[in-house]
Structure 1
Amino acid sequence: MRLLHAIALFATLPFAALAVGSDDSDPPKPTQTTTQCKNGEVWDEAQQKCVPPQHNDLSNDTRFRAVRELAWAGRYDDAMLVLSSMTEGETDRVLTYRGFILRKSGNIEQGIVAYEAALKLNPHNILTHSYYGQLLVEMNEVDAARVHLAAIRADGGQGTWAEASLAHAIDTGLTYTY
Protein backbone atom coordinates (compact mmCIF):
# COMPACT_ATOMS: atom_id res chain seq x y z
CA MET A 1 0.00 0.00 0.00
CA ARG A 2 2.81 2.40 0.89
CA LEU A 3 4.43 1.67 -2.48
CA LEU A 4 1.19 2.49 -4.29
CA HIS A 5 0.91 5.74 -2.33
CA ALA A 6 4.49 6.67 -3.28
CA ILE A 7 3.89 5.85 -6.95
CA ALA A 8 0.71 7.93 -6.99
CA LEU A 9 2.48 10.82 -5.31
CA PHE A 10 5.42 10.76 -7.70
CA ALA A 11 3.03 10.69 -10.63
CA THR A 12 1.63 13.97 -9.36
CA LEU A 13 4.97 15.64 -8.60
CA PRO A 14 4.85 17.84 -11.71
CA PHE A 15 1.85 19.41 -10.03
CA ALA A 16 3.50 19.59 -6.61
CA ALA A 17 4.96 23.02 -7.12
CA LEU A 18 1.86 24.66 -5.71
CA ALA A 19 3.27 27.49 -3.79
CA VAL A 20 2.43 29.84 -1.09
CA GLY A 21 -1.29 30.32 -1.23
CA SER A 22 -1.84 29.91 -4.93
CA ASP A 23 -4.50 27.70 -6.45
CA ASP A 24 -2.19 27.18 -9.42
CA SER A 25 -0.37 23.85 -9.27
CA ASP A 26 2.30 24.84 -11.80
CA PRO A 27 5.50 26.71 -10.98
CA PRO A 28 5.07 30.40 -11.71
CA LYS A 29 6.21 31.37 -15.15
CA PRO A 30 9.01 33.92 -15.03
CA THR A 31 7.80 37.39 -15.85
CA GLN A 32 9.58 40.70 -16.02
CA THR A 33 9.35 40.75 -12.20
CA THR A 34 12.13 38.15 -12.06
CA THR A 35 13.78 38.71 -15.44
CA GLN A 36 14.07 42.52 -15.40
CA CYS A 37 13.09 44.00 -12.05
CA LYS A 38 15.62 44.39 -9.26
CA ASN A 39 15.53 45.13 -5.52
CA GLY A 40 11.98 43.94 -4.88
CA GLU A 41 10.41 45.87 -7.73
CA VAL A 42 7.34 44.44 -9.47
CA TRP A 43 6.47 44.59 -13.16
CA ASP A 44 3.50 46.90 -13.78
CA GLU A 45 1.69 45.77 -16.93
CA ALA A 46 -0.13 49.08 -17.37
CA GLN A 47 3.06 51.14 -17.29
CA GLN A 48 5.24 48.45 -18.90
CA LYS A 49 7.99 48.99 -16.35
CA CYS A 50 9.28 47.91 -12.96
CA VAL A 51 7.81 49.82 -10.05
CA PRO A 52 8.36 49.78 -6.31
CA PRO A 53 6.11 47.22 -4.59
CA GLN A 54 4.28 50.03 -2.74
CA HIS A 55 3.10 51.52 -6.04
CA ASN A 56 -0.57 52.47 -5.76
CA ASP A 57 -1.57 50.81 -9.04
CA LEU A 58 -0.50 47.34 -7.86
CA SER A 59 -3.23 45.19 -6.38
CA ASN A 60 -2.59 42.82 -3.50
CA ASP A 61 -3.15 39.90 -5.88
CA THR A 62 -0.46 41.29 -8.21
CA ARG A 63 1.84 41.60 -5.23
CA PHE A 64 1.06 38.02 -4.15
CA ARG A 65 1.86 36.70 -7.63
CA ALA A 66 5.16 38.61 -7.44
CA VAL A 67 5.91 37.18 -3.98
CA ARG A 68 5.26 33.69 -5.29
CA GLU A 69 7.41 34.19 -8.36
CA LEU A 70 10.27 35.76 -6.40
CA ALA A 71 10.16 33.05 -3.73
CA TRP A 72 10.16 30.33 -6.38
CA ALA A 73 13.24 31.98 -7.90
CA GLY A 74 14.93 31.89 -4.48
CA ARG A 75 14.88 35.67 -4.15
CA TYR A 76 13.59 35.63 -0.58
CA ASP A 77 14.73 39.15 0.35
CA ASP A 78 12.91 40.59 -2.65
CA ALA A 79 9.85 38.44 -1.90
CA MET A 80 9.80 39.78 1.65
CA LEU A 81 10.04 43.37 0.41
CA VAL A 82 7.00 42.84 -1.80
CA LEU A 83 5.14 41.00 0.96
CA SER A 84 5.83 43.90 3.32
CA SER A 85 4.06 46.22 0.89
CA MET A 86 0.77 44.33 1.21
CA THR A 87 -2.09 46.59 2.22
CA GLU A 88 -4.47 43.93 3.56
CA GLY A 89 -2.77 43.77 6.93
CA GLU A 90 -1.76 40.73 8.97
CA THR A 91 -4.14 38.24 7.36
CA ASP A 92 -3.57 34.52 7.53
CA ARG A 93 -2.43 34.44 3.91
CA VAL A 94 0.12 37.21 4.50
CA LEU A 95 1.37 35.46 7.63
CA THR A 96 1.57 32.13 5.78
CA TYR A 97 3.66 33.75 3.04
CA ARG A 98 5.84 35.37 5.69
CA GLY A 99 6.35 32.03 7.44
CA PHE A 100 7.28 30.34 4.18
CA ILE A 101 9.81 33.02 3.21
CA LEU A 102 11.32 33.09 6.69
CA ARG A 103 11.54 29.29 6.75
CA LYS A 104 13.19 29.08 3.36
CA SER A 105 15.65 31.88 4.18
CA GLY A 106 16.75 30.08 7.34
CA ASN A 107 14.83 32.09 9.96
CA ILE A 108 13.15 29.04 11.45
CA GLU A 109 11.99 30.51 14.76
CA GLN A 110 10.45 33.57 13.07
CA GLY A 111 8.83 31.27 10.53
CA ILE A 112 7.22 29.30 13.35
CA VAL A 113 5.91 32.51 14.91
CA ALA A 114 4.36 33.54 11.57
CA TYR A 115 2.77 30.14 10.97
CA GLU A 116 1.33 30.06 14.49
CA ALA A 117 -0.07 33.58 14.08
CA ALA A 118 -1.67 32.54 10.79
CA LEU A 119 -3.26 29.50 12.40
CA LYS A 120 -4.50 31.60 15.30
CA LEU A 121 -6.36 33.77 12.78
CA ASN A 122 -7.55 30.81 10.72
CA PRO A 123 -7.03 27.37 12.22
CA HIS A 124 -8.51 25.84 9.04
CA ASN A 125 -5.86 27.19 6.64
CA ILE A 126 -4.65 23.94 5.10
CA LEU A 127 -1.74 25.58 3.29
CA THR A 128 -0.40 26.94 6.58
CA HIS A 129 -0.74 23.50 8.12
CA SER A 130 1.16 21.99 5.19
CA TYR A 131 4.04 24.45 5.26
CA TYR A 132 4.28 24.36 9.06
CA GLY A 133 4.22 20.56 8.97
CA GLN A 134 7.00 20.51 6.38
CA LEU A 135 9.06 22.77 8.62
CA LEU A 136 8.51 20.33 11.46
CA VAL A 137 9.67 17.44 9.25
CA GLU A 138 12.82 19.44 8.48
CA MET A 139 13.32 19.74 12.26
CA ASN A 140 12.81 15.96 12.66
CA GLU A 141 9.57 16.58 14.58
CA VAL A 142 7.57 14.07 12.54
CA ASP A 143 4.92 13.39 15.20
CA ALA A 144 4.15 17.10 15.40
CA ALA A 145 3.96 17.22 11.58
CA ARG A 146 1.40 14.40 11.67
CA VAL A 147 -0.84 16.62 13.81
CA HIS A 148 -0.85 19.16 10.97
CA LEU A 149 -1.59 16.43 8.42
CA ALA A 150 -4.55 15.32 10.52
CA ALA A 151 -5.77 18.94 10.66
CA ILE A 152 -5.57 19.21 6.86
CA ARG A 153 -7.65 16.06 6.49
CA ALA A 154 -10.13 17.15 9.18
CA ASP A 155 -10.63 20.43 7.33
CA GLY A 156 -11.52 18.72 4.05
CA GLY A 157 -8.06 18.88 2.52
CA GLN A 158 -7.97 15.29 1.29
CA GLY A 159 -6.57 15.10 -2.23
CA THR A 160 -5.08 18.60 -2.17
CA TRP A 161 -1.49 19.58 -2.77
CA ALA A 162 -1.33 20.63 0.90
CA GLU A 163 -2.12 17.08 2.01
CA ALA A 164 0.01 15.30 -0.61
CA SER A 165 3.11 17.40 -0.03
CA LEU A 166 3.01 17.03 3.74
CA ALA A 167 2.25 13.30 3.56
CA HIS A 168 5.19 12.91 1.17
CA ALA A 169 7.46 14.86 3.52
CA ILE A 170 6.42 12.70 6.47
CA ASP A 171 6.92 9.48 4.49
CA THR A 172 10.28 10.42 2.96
CA GLY A 173 11.76 13.21 5.08
CA LEU A 174 11.99 15.33 1.94
CA THR A 175 10.26 18.69 1.68
CA TYR A 176 9.77 20.88 -1.32
CA THR A 177 12.15 23.67 -2.16
CA TYR A 178 9.07 25.62 -3.13
Structure 2
Amino acid sequence: MPRVQKLRLATLSAVCLFSVALAGPVFAAGGYGGGSDSGSETTPVCKKGSVYDRKSQKCVKQSGANLTDENLADYAYALAKAERYQDALDVLDTVKDQNSPVVLNYRGYATRKLGRLDEGIGYYLKSVAADPQYAQVREYLGEAYVLKGEIELAKAQLQAIKGLCGTTCEEYRDLDAAIGAAAKI
Protein backbone atom coordinates (compact mmCIF):
# COMPACT_ATOMS: atom_id res chain seq x y z
CA MET A 1 0.00 0.00 0.00
CA PRO A 2 1.49 3.39 -0.94
CA ARG A 3 2.65 5.63 1.91
CA VAL A 4 0.09 8.35 1.09
CA GLN A 5 -2.78 5.84 1.22
CA LYS A 6 -1.50 4.46 4.55
CA LEU A 7 -1.37 8.02 5.89
CA ARG A 8 -4.95 8.66 4.70
CA LEU A 9 -6.18 5.47 6.37
CA ALA A 10 -4.32 6.29 9.58
CA THR A 11 -5.75 9.82 9.66
CA LEU A 12 -9.28 8.64 8.90
CA SER A 13 -8.96 5.94 11.57
CA ALA A 14 -7.93 8.60 14.06
CA VAL A 15 -10.94 10.72 13.09
CA CYS A 16 -13.21 7.71 13.55
CA LEU A 17 -11.67 6.87 16.94
CA PHE A 18 -12.10 10.47 18.03
CA SER A 19 -15.76 10.31 17.02
CA VAL A 20 -16.23 7.11 19.01
CA ALA A 21 -14.52 8.69 22.02
CA LEU A 22 -17.02 11.55 21.90
CA ALA A 23 -19.90 9.06 21.92
CA GLY A 24 -19.51 8.38 25.61
CA PRO A 25 -19.16 5.45 28.02
CA VAL A 26 -19.40 1.75 27.32
CA PHE A 27 -23.08 1.67 26.49
CA ALA A 28 -24.65 1.23 23.10
CA ALA A 29 -28.15 2.10 22.09
CA GLY A 30 -30.65 -0.60 21.37
CA GLY A 31 -32.49 -0.53 18.12
CA TYR A 32 -32.85 -3.81 16.29
CA GLY A 33 -35.27 -2.21 13.83
CA GLY A 34 -32.55 -0.09 12.26
CA GLY A 35 -31.97 3.61 12.03
CA SER A 36 -29.80 5.59 14.34
CA ASP A 37 -27.60 4.11 17.02
CA SER A 38 -28.56 6.92 19.37
CA GLY A 39 -31.58 6.77 21.57
CA SER A 40 -32.85 6.64 25.09
CA GLU A 41 -32.46 2.87 25.50
CA THR A 42 -28.91 1.70 26.22
CA THR A 43 -27.44 -1.76 26.53
CA PRO A 44 -24.76 -2.33 29.18
CA VAL A 45 -21.80 -4.53 28.31
CA CYS A 46 -21.36 -7.66 30.44
CA LYS A 47 -18.28 -9.76 31.14
CA LYS A 48 -17.27 -12.37 28.56
CA GLY A 49 -19.63 -15.35 28.47
CA SER A 50 -22.60 -13.27 29.63
CA VAL A 51 -25.24 -11.38 27.67
CA TYR A 52 -27.43 -8.49 28.78
CA ASP A 53 -31.06 -9.62 28.94
CA ARG A 54 -33.37 -6.64 28.49
CA LYS A 55 -36.33 -8.53 29.96
CA SER A 56 -34.65 -9.22 33.31
CA GLN A 57 -32.43 -6.12 32.96
CA LYS A 58 -29.32 -7.95 34.04
CA CYS A 59 -26.40 -9.91 32.67
CA VAL A 60 -27.12 -13.62 32.26
CA LYS A 61 -24.93 -16.53 31.23
CA GLN A 62 -25.00 -16.76 27.45
CA SER A 63 -25.11 -20.54 27.40
CA GLY A 64 -28.65 -21.71 28.02
CA ALA A 65 -30.15 -18.21 27.99
CA ASN A 66 -33.44 -17.96 26.14
CA LEU A 67 -32.88 -14.63 24.41
CA THR A 68 -34.57 -13.21 21.34
CA ASP A 69 -32.69 -12.46 18.14
CA GLU A 70 -33.41 -8.78 18.78
CA ASN A 71 -31.85 -8.97 22.25
CA LEU A 72 -28.79 -10.81 20.94
CA ALA A 73 -28.30 -8.40 18.03
CA ASP A 74 -28.59 -5.36 20.29
CA TYR A 75 -26.09 -6.87 22.70
CA ALA A 76 -23.67 -7.73 19.89
CA TYR A 77 -23.84 -4.11 18.76
CA ALA A 78 -23.13 -2.94 22.32
CA LEU A 79 -20.06 -5.19 22.36
CA ALA A 80 -18.89 -3.82 19.01
CA LYS A 81 -19.30 -0.24 20.23
CA ALA A 82 -17.19 -1.24 23.27
CA GLU A 83 -14.50 -2.41 20.79
CA ARG A 84 -15.07 -6.09 21.63
CA TYR A 85 -15.49 -6.96 17.96
CA GLN A 86 -14.77 -10.68 18.09
CA ASP A 87 -17.10 -11.07 21.06
CA ALA A 88 -19.76 -9.27 19.04
CA LEU A 89 -19.30 -11.70 16.16
CA ASP A 90 -19.49 -14.63 18.57
CA VAL A 91 -22.84 -13.38 19.90
CA LEU A 92 -24.10 -12.77 16.35
CA ASP A 93 -23.26 -16.40 15.57
CA THR A 94 -25.97 -17.40 18.07
CA VAL A 95 -28.75 -15.43 16.36
CA LYS A 96 -31.27 -17.67 14.59
CA ASP A 97 -32.02 -15.32 11.66
CA GLN A 98 -28.59 -14.86 10.12
CA ASN A 99 -30.14 -13.03 7.14
CA SER A 100 -31.66 -10.21 9.19
CA PRO A 101 -30.57 -6.84 7.77
CA VAL A 102 -29.63 -5.73 11.28
CA VAL A 103 -27.56 -8.85 11.99
CA LEU A 104 -25.79 -8.50 8.64
CA ASN A 105 -25.12 -4.81 9.35
CA TYR A 106 -23.71 -5.46 12.81
CA ARG A 107 -21.63 -8.35 11.46
CA GLY A 108 -20.29 -6.00 8.80
CA TYR A 109 -19.49 -3.37 11.42
CA ALA A 110 -17.58 -5.74 13.71
CA THR A 111 -15.78 -7.38 10.79
CA ARG A 112 -14.76 -4.00 9.34
CA LYS A 113 -13.48 -2.88 12.73
CA LEU A 114 -11.35 -6.05 12.90
CA GLY A 115 -9.64 -4.82 9.73
CA ARG A 116 -11.42 -7.14 7.29
CA LEU A 117 -12.78 -4.27 5.23
CA ASP A 118 -13.84 -6.15 2.10
CA GLU A 119 -15.58 -8.85 4.14
CA GLY A 120 -17.41 -6.16 6.10
CA ILE A 121 -18.54 -4.50 2.87
CA GLY A 122 -19.90 -7.86 1.73
CA TYR A 123 -22.11 -8.05 4.83
CA TYR A 124 -23.23 -4.45 4.37
CA LEU A 125 -24.22 -5.12 0.76
CA LYS A 126 -26.27 -8.15 1.84
CA SER A 127 -27.97 -5.98 4.47
CA VAL A 128 -28.77 -3.27 1.90
CA ALA A 129 -30.20 -5.92 -0.44
CA ALA A 130 -32.40 -7.23 2.39
CA ASP A 131 -33.60 -3.75 3.43
CA PRO A 132 -32.76 -0.84 1.10
CA GLN A 133 -34.52 1.57 3.52
CA TYR A 134 -32.11 0.82 6.41
CA ALA A 135 -30.19 4.09 6.80
CA GLN A 136 -27.63 2.92 9.36
CA VAL A 137 -26.22 0.22 7.10
CA ARG A 138 -25.88 2.76 4.31
CA GLU A 139 -23.90 5.00 6.66
CA TYR A 140 -21.55 2.19 7.63
CA LEU A 141 -21.19 1.04 4.02
CA GLY A 142 -20.33 4.61 3.06
CA GLU A 143 -17.74 4.81 5.84
CA ALA A 144 -16.18 1.56 4.60
CA TYR A 145 -16.00 3.01 1.09
CA VAL A 146 -14.29 6.11 2.51
CA LEU A 147 -11.68 3.87 4.17
CA LYS A 148 -11.07 2.21 0.79
CA GLY A 149 -10.75 5.59 -0.91
CA GLU A 150 -13.93 4.96 -2.93
CA ILE A 151 -15.36 8.42 -2.28
CA GLU A 152 -17.87 8.36 -5.15
CA LEU A 153 -19.39 5.14 -3.78
CA ALA A 154 -19.54 6.76 -0.33
CA LYS A 155 -21.28 9.80 -1.82
CA ALA A 156 -23.83 7.50 -3.47
CA GLN A 157 -24.67 6.07 -0.03
CA LEU A 158 -24.91 9.63 1.33
CA GLN A 159 -27.47 10.47 -1.35
CA ALA A 160 -29.44 7.32 -0.55
CA ILE A 161 -29.49 8.31 3.14
CA LYS A 162 -30.66 11.80 2.16
CA GLY A 163 -33.61 10.19 0.39
CA LEU A 164 -34.42 8.08 3.45
CA CYS A 165 -34.15 10.58 6.31
CA GLY A 166 -32.95 13.91 4.96
CA THR A 167 -29.78 15.79 5.81
CA THR A 168 -30.38 16.23 9.53
CA CYS A 169 -30.46 12.57 10.59
CA GLU A 170 -27.44 11.19 12.40
CA GLU A 171 -26.58 8.73 9.62
CA TYR A 172 -26.36 11.53 7.04
CA ARG A 173 -24.36 13.82 9.32
CA ASP A 174 -21.88 11.08 10.31
CA LEU A 175 -21.22 9.90 6.75
CA ASP A 176 -21.00 13.47 5.47
CA ALA A 177 -18.39 14.20 8.16
CA ALA A 178 -16.38 11.08 7.22
CA ILE A 179 -16.42 12.08 3.55
CA GLY A 180 -15.42 15.64 4.48
CA ALA A 181 -12.56 14.40 6.67
CA ALA A 182 -11.27 12.21 3.84
CA ALA A 183 -11.40 15.16 1.43
CA LYS A 184 -9.13 17.18 3.75
CA ILE A 185 -6.45 14.50 3.79
Q: Which bin holds the TM-score, normalised by the shorter protein? A: 0.7 to 0.9
Q: Is contact 1:42-1:53 (8 Å) kept? A: no
Structure-1-length-normalised TM-score: 0.74
- Unpaired stretches in structure 2, ≥5 consecutive residues: 1-18
Aligned-partner residue type, residue 167 of structure 2? Q
Name the SS of the counterpart of 2:71 in structure 1: helix
| Cα distance change, pair 121–30 in 1 and its aligned pair in 2 (3 A) | closer
- 54, 61, 67: which one aligns with 1:51: 61
Aligned-partner residue type, residue 112 of structure 2? R
Report the aligned-residue RMSD. 3.1
- 152, 159, 164: which one aligns with 1:150: 159
Distance in 1 (alpha carbons) for counterparts of 2:143 and 2:59: 36
Distance in 2 (alpha carbons) for counterparts of 1:166 and 1:159: 11
Q: Is contact 1:136-1:142 (8 Å) kept? A: yes
Aligned-partner residue type, residue 85 of structure 1? T
For the pair 1:122 / 2:126, whether they are aligned, the reply is no
Correspondences of 1:98-113 after superposition (within 5 Å): 98-113=107-122
Cα deviation for residue 135 of structure 1 reads 0.7
What percent of counterpart residues are identical?
28
| Cα distance change, pair 103–14 in 1 and its aligned pair in 2 (3 A) | closer
For the pair 1:95 / 2:104, whether they are aligned, the reply is yes
Cα deviation for residue 50 of structure 1 reads 3.1
Q: Is contact 2:36-2:170 (8 Å) kept? A: no
Cα deviation for residue 47 of structure 1 reads 9.4
- 150, 175, 181: which one aligns with 1:166: 175
User: Which is richer in strand?
Assistant: 2
- 15, 22, 25: which one aligns with 2:38: 25
Aligned-partner residue type, residue 119 of structure 1? V
Cα deviation for residue 121 of structure 1 reads 1.3
- 71, 74, 78: which one aligns with 2:83: 74
Structure-2-length-normalised TM-score: 0.71
